[in-house]
Amino acid sequence: MESFRLPSATYRILDAAFNRAAEGFRVVEDFLRLSLADRYLARTTKDLRHQLTVASTQLDAQARIAARDTLNDVGCDIQADSEFVRDSNEDVVRANLARVQQSLRTLEEYGKTISVKFSQSVEKLRYQTYTLEKAILTTLSSRQNLEQAQLYVLIDARFESGDFEPLVEQLIEAKVDLIQLREKRLNDREQVKVGLQLTALTRDTPTRWIMNDRADLAVAAGADGVHVGQDDLSVAAARQIVGAAKMVGVSTHSLEQAQQAVLQGANYIGVGPVFVSRTKQFDAHMGLELVREVADEIQLPAFAIGGVNQNNIEQIMRAGLCRAAVQQGIVGAEQPFQAAARFKSLISSSRSGE
């Protein structure tokens, strides 16, 4: 029998692949824990690494170690120049996620010759790793995209006052980062019409706008993204409609919902309702405890929402979130520009530790 068909050769392959996968998980975990400080993603990565270790117990540990022969591994001398080039920590993470996935595939395929149960365990782990990769890379890109975003203002079409355009102009002048169009009273055509106004007004400005609920109308009106609730389209469904370049935000009312939004690939989350709101009714108000939980666990951009005003926004900052979504406290003010500017100042002061 030729040596490459001996069980020892298979165990040698499995041993090398296991070590690569475990090392890759550890490299990613170190970044999430020590650089990004994302407790949830670090814990998720650690759990996957642990699952790999548990799966490996289905193999003959003695046979795996006995088959190891690093001294005679011809691959030790085969290296590509790109292996030694990493431009950033993100590059390191991307490379090691790829290493984990490739190694898991090797484990899955060669494991079939040893243990079907082992191979099935690794297959499940590989799919979970794809989800982890999506969550990590979306978190990193979203943090970069929304790095300076502090203030998110919700508005309607201003039917009663008829001052929609002047209001938006004041918000843009005050350097509001995001504007969400939340208008339940309009039909689809009317919503798109108002949305196109927002697109024209925000064009060539730092302010971006989000359509509430309706991903299809967000695309039709040229919005920068869509915001969905727990009973609306899923993140995946919304993403299929708006595409990869636009933002998808999600309302979350518990830590579990926030964690799920991360895994689903949301670009940001709304956290609340924190305080009692005059514009939207909820059965319960999560309070500052949810703000603390999310701030402690998740590094995806998160905006506290629900009854936020100038008197309580510092409580939100002290609880750990440096972003807020406001409606009545700005659009209901006599001078929206001054109100928005004041909110920006309060948030900036808290972020800088002043």
pLDDT digits (tens, 9 = 90+) for 105-127: 999 999 999 999 999 999 999 99
Question: Domain boundaries in the chain?
Answer: 3-143, 148-352
pLDDT tens-digit profile of 7-17? 789 999 999 99
What is the rounded average pLDDT of the residues 259-265? 98
| 276 — pLDDT class (breaks 50, 70, 90) | confident
The mean pLDDT value for 183-205 works out to: 96
| Closest residue by Cα to residue 41 from 51, 31, 32 | 32
Over residues 38-59, the mean pLDDT reads: 97
CATH classification (class only), 148-352:
alpha beta
Residue 2 has pLDDT above 50, yes or no: no
- How crowded is residue 258: how many other Cβ atoms within 10 Å of its Cβ? 24
- Summarised one tens digit per residue, pLDDT across range 230-250 is 999 999 999 999 999 999 999
| 207-227 pLDDT tens trace | 999 999 999 999 999 999 999
pLDDT(133) > 80: yes
Q: 3-class secondary structure for 257-268?
A: HHHHHHHHCCCE
Token pair in block for residue 254:
């518990």
Question: According to the model, what pLDDT value does residue 85 have?
Answer: 75
Asked which of 5-9, 299-303, 316-320 is least confident by mean pLDDT, the reply is 5-9
Q: What is the pLDDT of residue 337?
A: 96
Question: Residue 254 pLDDT > 80, yes or no?
Answer: yes
Which pTM value belongs to this model?
Answer: 0.92
Closest of 193, 205, 305, 307 to residue 249, by C-alpha: 305
CB 170 within 8 A of CB 337: yes
Question: Residue 262, by phi and psi: left (phi above 0), alpha (psi -120 to 50) or beta?
Answer: alpha
